[in-house]
């Protein structure tokens, strides 16, 4: 087995780009859409938001998935009591159509001054469609922004950041108008990762009258501060777990494993293990390696190879396993590499 010296480990947030690369890569999944099919052979890890439940249905071992709170990389919001409104366009997974829907609503709702925070690419494609009550601010790094507003419109995991900061938050996303977040609808919206109306259809029409009612409820609520504090408390309960807060540290851990894997000396000290989403099913003299949830068969092996598979439990290093089964380096890696490329096994240090 010939190993390439692959020092250039890439971090991709777009699967289409990753699919065209021959480099080992880490997938930083920043969107909240259904998970796309990922090329597994060069994949060394996935980083996604803690509320993303779509990721397990595509055969990626849980050992290669790290969930973090993506909303940490968010603007600072100062709550005002004027009539200003902000639409915060989430970088990485908003698009022109969503922003145009917001513009159409506020072109009709001229009594409200709207500021749209978005990326330069989206701004260039939509700025000619807005009326004078709408202005734009382009941003690159969300955590460098300070916004003053009476209410914010957004969707996805950034909603959590604004709820934490006790700001009236209205959900308008790819699945419609989720509405103003309150303790009454919090659980439903949280479960759907604040992507729009619960049960909504993709790119559905947003009724202007309902949006106007949402603003009226915020303006007329006499217990607004108490309600916002309760929202923040509910969110804290939902997120009551130990979270990895730094994307960089997660990436470094994945890269460390990758570097060891491609190092001709260090890879023998890795400890292989059957992935936790793998089941061995025996049928007469053949054993099938099958992925849970998908229930597809990755490999079929004769009885003679099963003893080695049972030893893939992270208790022994690759060097120890090679010695135990008296295999040459090529023989050993010719067995393990196909298992790794299909993600039937994982490695730990």
Domain boundaries, the chain: 1-68+243-264, 72-238, 267-349
Tokens of 84: 């200003």
pLDDT tens, 235-287? 988 876 545 557 788 888 899 999 899 888 899 999 999 999 999 888 878 88
Q: Is the pLDDT of residue 7 over 70?
A: no
Q: At what angle do helices 208-220 and 96-108 cross, to 10 degrees?
A: 70
Q: Is 280 helix (H, G, I), strand (E, B) or coil?
A: strand
Residue 71 pLDDT? 77
Coil, helix or strand for 306?
helix
Within 13 Å of residue 107, how many CA atoms lie on the same side as its CB?
12
Residue 37 has pLDDT above 80, yes or no: no
pTM confidence score: 0.69
**Tens-digit pLDDT profile for residues 316-334:** 999 999 999 999 999 999 9
Dump the DSSP string for 190-231.
HHTTT-BSTTPPTTPPPPHHHHHHHHHHHHH-TTHHHHHHHH
> Taking a C-beta distance cutoff of 8 angstroms, is the pair 118, 136 a contact?
yes
Mean local confidence (pLDDT), 52-68: 83
Q: Which fold has domain 72-238?
A: Rossmann fold (3.40.50)
The answer on pLDDT for 151 being more than 50 is yes
| DSSP single-letter state for residue 344 | S
Closest CA relative to residue 170, chosen from 206, 222, 126, 132? 206
Q: What is the pLDDT at residue 35?
A: 62
Nearest one of 39, 44, 5 to 25, comparing CA atoms: 44
Region 224-228 average pLDDT: 96
Which of 5-9, 118-122, 288-292, 316-320 is predicted least confidently? 5-9
CATH 3.90.930.60 fits 267-349, yes or no: yes
């Amino acid at each position: 087995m010939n190993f390439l010296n692959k020092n250039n480990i890439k971090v991709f947030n777009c699967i289409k780009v990753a699919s065209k690369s021959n480099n080992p890569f880490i997938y930083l999944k920043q969107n909240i859409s259904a998970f796309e099919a990922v090329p597994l052979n060069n994949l060394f890890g996935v980083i996604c938001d803690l509320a993303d439940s779509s990721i397990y249905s595509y055969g990626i071992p849980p050992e290669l998935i790290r969930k973090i709170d993506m909303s940490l990389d968010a603007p600072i919001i100062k709550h005002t009591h004027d009539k200003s409104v902000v639409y915060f366009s989430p970088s990485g997974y908003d698009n022109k159509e969503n922003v145009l829907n917001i513009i159409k609503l506020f072109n009709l709702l001229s009594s409200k001054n709207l500021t749209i925070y978005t990326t330069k690419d989206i701004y260039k494609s939509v700025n000619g469609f807005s009326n004078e009550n709408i202005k734009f601010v382009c941003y690159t790094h969300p955590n460098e922004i300070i916004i003053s507003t009476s209410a914010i419109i957004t969707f996805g995991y950034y909603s959590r950041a604004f709820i934490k900061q006790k700001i009236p938050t209205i959900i308008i996303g790819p699945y419609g108008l989720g509405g103003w977040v309150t303790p009454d609808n919090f659980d439903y919206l949280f479960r759907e990762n604040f992507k729009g109306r619960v049960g909504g259809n993709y790119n559905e029409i947003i009724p202007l009258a309902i949006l106007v009612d949402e603003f009226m409820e915020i303006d007329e609520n006499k217990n607004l501060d108490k309600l916002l504090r309760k929202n923040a408390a509910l969110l804290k309960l939902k997120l009551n777990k130990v979270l990895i807060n730094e994307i960089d540290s997660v990436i470094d851990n994945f890269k460390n494993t990758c570097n060891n894997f491609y190092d001709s000396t260090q890879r023998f000290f890795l400890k292989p293990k059957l992935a936790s989403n793998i089941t061995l099913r025996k049928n007469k003299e053949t054993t099938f390696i099958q992925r849970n949830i998908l229930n597809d068969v990755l490999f079929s092996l004769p009885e003679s190879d099963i003893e080695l598979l049972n030893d893939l439990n992270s208790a022994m290093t690759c060097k120890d396993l090679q010695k135990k089964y008296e295999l040459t380096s090529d023989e050993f890696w010719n067995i393990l590499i196909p298992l790794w490329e299909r993600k039937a096994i994982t490695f730990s240090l």
